[in-house]
Structure 1
Amino acid sequence: MSRLAEFRAAEKALQEQLAQLETLKNDAGLKKEIEFEEKLQALMKSYDKNLRDVISILDPSAVNAKSTPVAPVKTRKPRVLKVYENPHTGELIETKGGNHSGLKAWKREHGSDTVESWLRA
């Protein structure tokens, strides 16, 4: 891109941003937010408080949190240990899930229903 074309593109982008800025300046909601912020800053200054102090007053649980909101930790119930005994060989398999390679081999060889019947109580 030539320097002139680059200049014209930057000039056009600046004009668009200035138009957007004018639109924002006339926005009533933005004016209210700016007014609120100014009053809050003045209030904090008059009481010699900073933003962290205000947050700790309004939401004490947020003081110990880092930068993320506190969310309840979802913990999964621990999986139960299952013990399968092959009646043909007497071999035992202990597993907490169905992804055990020996258990899969038994299910391929003898069928899933049959192997599930080998589950010890």
Structure 2
Amino acid sequence: MSKIAEYKRLESQLAEQLAALDKLKADSQLKQEIEFENRLKALLKEYGFSLQTVLDILDPQPAGAIQTRSRRARTVKVYTNPHTGEVVETKGGNHRVLNAWKAEYGAQTVNAWCA
């Protein structure tokens, strides 16, 4: 694309954007929002509050919601059946094969198979 063609294209886009900006400046709702923002900033400055402080006042969090505790990730346990050589990897104790082994050999014996 030649430089003059690119210049004309950008000039055209700029004219469209300026027209859209002028239309937006005349919008009464925009004027109202700008006025609200200016008054709010002045009020925050007058009382020495930050926006976050005002949000905390308007929508307080319950005491338990401030500190969120996450659960520790479960570790993978590997059980190897010495009778069959079968290997079971599980994060919990509610595994079908593991429960069958516990029923057949006893829970204490199967827990000893954990590597």
Structure 1-normalised TM-score? 0.51
In the TM superposition, what are the counterparts of 1:28-107 in structure 2 within 5 Å? 28-58=28-58, 78=74, 83=79, 85=81, 89-91=83-85, 93-96=87-90
**1:95 is matched by which residue type in structure 2?**
E
SS at match of 1:91: coil
**How many residues align structurally?**
93
**1:34 is matched by which residue type in structure 2?**
I
Question: How far apart in 2 are the matches of 1:79 and 1:13?
Answer: 59
Aligned residues of 2:77 and 2:89 also touching (Cα < 8 A): yes
Unaligned runs of 5+ in 2: 103-115
Question: How far apart in 2 are the matches of 1:75 and 1:43?
Answer: 42
Question: How far apart in 2 are the matches of 1:117 and 1:38?
Answer: 66
Unaligned runs of 5+ in 1: 62-69, 98-114
Identity over aligned pairs, percent: 37
SS at match of 2:39: helix
Higher fraction of helix = 2
Aligned residues of 1:81 and 1:95 also touching (Cα < 8 A): yes
After superposition, give the CA deviation of every residue in 1:83-120 in whole Å (9 maximum; x if it has no partner): 4636xx453634216xxxxxxxxxxxxxxxxx949831
Structure 2-normalised TM-score? 0.53
Aligned residues of 1:24 and 1:30 also touching (Cα < 8 A): yes
- The change in CA–CA distance for 1:49 and 1:92 in structure 2 (over 3 A counts) is same
